[in-house]
Amino acid sequence: MASKLFLILTKLFVFLLLSAIAKPSLGESPSKRPVTPGTVCNFTLYPSWCKTVLPYRTTNNVYDYGRFLVRQSLSQSYSFLNLVNKYLKRPSTLSKATKAALEDCQFLTGLNIEYLVSSLETVNRSNQTLPAMKADDTHSMLSATLTNHQTCWDGLQAAASSGTVKNDLSIPLLNDTKLFSVSLAIYTKGWVPEEEVGITTQPGRKLLGLAKKHSRLTKAAYGAVKGRKLVEIGNNVLVRDMVTVSQDGSGNFTTINDAIAAAPNNSAASEGYFVIYAKAGVYEEYVSIAKKKKYLMMIGDGISQTIITGNRSVEDGWTTFNSATFAVTAPGFVAVNITFRNTAGAIKHQAVALRNGADLSAFYSCSFEGYQDTLYTHSLRQFYRECDIYGTVDFIFGNAAVVFQNCNIYPRLPMTNQFNAITAQGRSDPNQNTGISIHNCTIRASDDLASSEGSIQTFLGRPWKQYSWTVYLQSYIDSLVDTSGWKEWNGDFALSTLYYAEYDNKGPGSNTTNRVTWSGFQVINDTDAANATVSNFILGDNWLPSTGVPYFGGLI
């Protein structure tokens, strides 16, 4: 074990040394002008702390400072991982809840190391603003490092209100959060095109031009839509291989996990999708698709036909992060015609049906069923089309850059004395390019809520984190939504820093006359609304066509 640690540290030292001496390509940019640490730190949330981190008595440009900060972030991530591993080597000293939280931290910090290595490669190669999609790739990864770190801290706080582990990790977590935030701020200043960087209430980009109105497929992409049998995958979708899962033994595999294990590792997009067709059935499996299982496509026989189900919950000892029936972190994941379900019930509180941290992932004609915390859109860029989402408290939550389009959102009957909050968006830093955009969707009561006696309050969302960002565009909002629209989290927390907006919605619950008067809430115009569309918010024109999932890029 000691020799393995020595090898890792040696590789890290060599990598950092090479990074430090790398000569990036030159380009003309105002950010190449030398500035003092004090000047560059004014671009960040933590200017005083930033000045203590940057080299003293040096004058560099934004790019040099940015590279230094990403290198420091990577180094600190390795140090934090070593600290977490130290505790996990002594499991007998840990409570079950603390051990579970530390395992989440271990997993999330491993992802951060990958994201920071990739980000460092990008910033080392360029001394100028990057093309939009390339800039967004790294922007998304640096945003995700903050999200992952926050998830680690949230888990530790929930596991124990006090204790040695929490006390020992709290200071590194706080300092690393500041470091990641400063790194992200300087990255957006140097490498992200100015037209993509929004004000502090915006999610990281402004209108890039006229968005495409529609994306039309050459032919129907998926023959299994709406319950029909799988016939063909459209010409625009590249497929490398396909296997079938059937519980009766007539396919290649009888379980979804076995089919995923057989998929190739680290495929490139150019190689096409490995398609898993899961025939109708109830699959009682906990599925976690690792990051190396890239470009998987899972197709079922339809909503309520192919069902993946579990019942893990926080009440039964799982962390929220690991309560998911189905979890995916592999980039390029696509799911079609599948129901993802958590049957723990409202009484078990947080119980996730699907957790998604997969970049450039898409879900088409799927259903997500649970109560509290049903759909965890954890991080990176995501798209959901023609999906059904059921839940009660904060049932669409997380800190991805995500668009829901043409979806049905069904608040359910909660427990006594509970209210429904559809969204709980978790943006913790104004430079993150994250948020929830709900476009051309329908918000109606589920059957159990519609038939219940008494008044259950339902809100469009509430601010989980300081810079929570959620927009409803051109959607139908039924009368179940409270006239105030939105709910506070705790007192006046985040009410001036959040960004909640509505645009051109319809239905009896869409009237904004009596909405909250928070400074962070607004009814927006066409230009601002266009910022939250598929083409502009998640740059969907660059990656959605290859998935075969239909979408429209702009406003309708």
Catalytic residues: 394
Q: Which residue matches tokens 């810079």?
A: 467
Where is 381: in which H helix or E strand?
strand 381-385
In whole angstroms, give the CA distance from residue 339 to residue 367: 4
In terms of C-beta density within 10 A (0-12 exposed, 13-18 middle, 19 or more buried), how is residue 78 classed? middle
In whole angstroms, give the CA distance from residue 460 to residue 156: 28
In whole angstroms, give the CA distance from residue 490 to residue 11: 46
In whole angstroms, give the CA distance from residue 230 to residue 158: 44
The answer to whether residues 147 and 441 touch, using CB atoms and an 8 Å cutoff, is no
In whole angstroms, give the CA distance from residue 400 to residue 427: 8
Structure tokens at 403: 């668009």
Task: Tell me which residue of 186, 177, 169 sits closest to 41, measured CA to CA.
Answer: 186
Task: Tell me which residue of 395, 351, 350, 392 sits closest to 377, measured CA to CA.
Answer: 395
In terms of C-beta density within 10 A (0-12 exposed, 13-18 middle, 19 or more buried), how is residue 251 classed? middle
Handedness of CA 463, 470, 396, 468 (dihedral sign): negative
Residue 439: C-alpha distances to residues 266, 395, 403, 428, 476 (Å): 33, 17, 7, 23, 9
